[in-house]
Amino acid sequence: MPAPDRAAVRLILLALAALGAALPATAAAQADNPWLQRRVLNIAHQGGEDEFPSNTLYAYRRALTVGADMLELDVGVTRDDRVIVMHDTSVDRVTDGRGDVRDKTLRQIRRLDAAYWFSGGRDAYSHDRPRRAYRLRGVATGDRPPPRGFGAADFRVPTLREVLRAFPGTPVNIEIKGRDRRETEDQYLANAEVLARELHGKRHRDLIVVSFDQAAVDRFHELVPSIDTAPGIGGAAGFLLGGQPLPAGSVAMQMPIRFTLAGETLDVTTTENVARAHASGYAWQTWLSGTGQDAAGTWRTLLAQCVDGIMTARPRALERVLVADGVRGPGRRGSDPCAA
């Protein structure tokens, strides 16, 4: 997820300032929310964008191979209303193309090299490294042979349909983006409606749909109430203020560790807030990508706070910590660090 705008951050900071507010009880019991039973999830943010090229089929396959339990992805909508998987509203940062997703057809998107600027590491998409650093550049276009077991298509921008077809039994988190760099609410709503049409009637289980824009989440839930959601900024603020349950369809809080605005920093993921979510029947999944906190010490702190999932740009590194510490997960033996 990107950082929300200043007004949205102010709203959540005000919510978090009310630390003494009592949260309402909800009808949802922990036993009714399967996301509370699947802990602790190693969630590959963008497929693990520090280790593998963002939001590609190659990244998703590799992430699952190294231990990820769930995939996180972002969706945008092309000029011809096709739902593609890309974190940014433009193609500039990760591909060899230029321009906004909304201005391109799916056919044009298909021609792009989605691993063009990937070099790996903390600044995995820097555009000023030596050419040899971009070791997967050209695989998508046939100028370089693919790694064994993969093809050129695994390094192009996929459609959401292709991802869900490739991983039918894998939990997937889907974030709704805007349509261009302004990311206005009407764009979020339009994309929510296109996504709803795409997912309506799909048999894929274990999906969570989320967006920073609460209206987009609400609109999606109205159209496809059978698919789980996580709240946007508005819904999260209402919950943390203590006056409201999460919006209908919500199963998890998906939050960063903290927000900082104008020198003011307040903790969001805390032992107390995670416990409040659990008591109200919601899971808590913390996202770390782009925050500079995606490291072993932080992961261990989150585990001690009893979070249910960690969204990481480094799923391979996170898995090593989870295994070394004996932390149980869907595909991992061990014990629950927060078992009663």
DSSP letters of 247-314?
PTTB-EEEE-SEEEETTEEEE-S-HHHHHHHHHTT-EEEEE-TTTT--SHHHHHHHHHTT-SEEEES-
Number of C-beta neighbours around residue 34 at 10 A? 13
User: Can you tell me which residue has the tokens 């036993």?
Assistant: 31
Residues 6+ apart with CB under 8 A from 259: 9, 12, 13, 16, 265, 266, 268
| Structure tokens that stand for 62 in this block | 């590799």
Q: Is residue 333 part of a domain?
A: no
Over the stretch 29-60, which tens digit does the pLDDT of each residue have? Answer: 445 899 999 999 999 999 999 999 999 999 99
Entry pTM: 0.91
Q: Is residue 255 part of a domain?
A: yes
Q: Is residue 137 part of a domain?
A: no
pLDDT reported for residue 293 = 80
Nearest CA-CA partner of 286 in 266, 317, 313, 312: 312
Over the stretch 262-294, which tens digit does the pLDDT of each residue have? Answer: 577 778 999 999 999 999 999 999 999 666 788
Q: Is residue 271 part of a domain?
A: yes
Q: Is residue 273 part of a domain?
A: yes
pLDDT reported for residue 6 = 47
pLDDT reported for residue 82 = 96
According to DSSP, the β-strands at 283-287 and 258-261 are unpaired
Q: Is residue 99 part of a domain?
A: no
Q: Is residue 186 part of a domain?
A: yes
pLDDT reported for residue 185 = 85
User: Can you tell me which residue has the tokens 């201005």?
Assistant: 103
How much is the CA Rg of the chain, to the nearest whole Å?
A: 19
Number of domains in the chain: 1
Residue-number span of the structural domain to which 309 is assigned: 6-91+168-324
Segments of the chain with pLDDT less than 70: 1-31, 243, 260-262, 289-291, 340
Q: Is residue 336 part of a domain?
A: no
Q: How far is CA 336 from CA 36, 210, 214, 223, 308, in A?
A: 12, 27, 32, 36, 10
pLDDT reported for residue 31 = 56
pLDDT reported for residue 290 = 62
What CATH number is given to the structural domain containing 61? 3.20.20.190
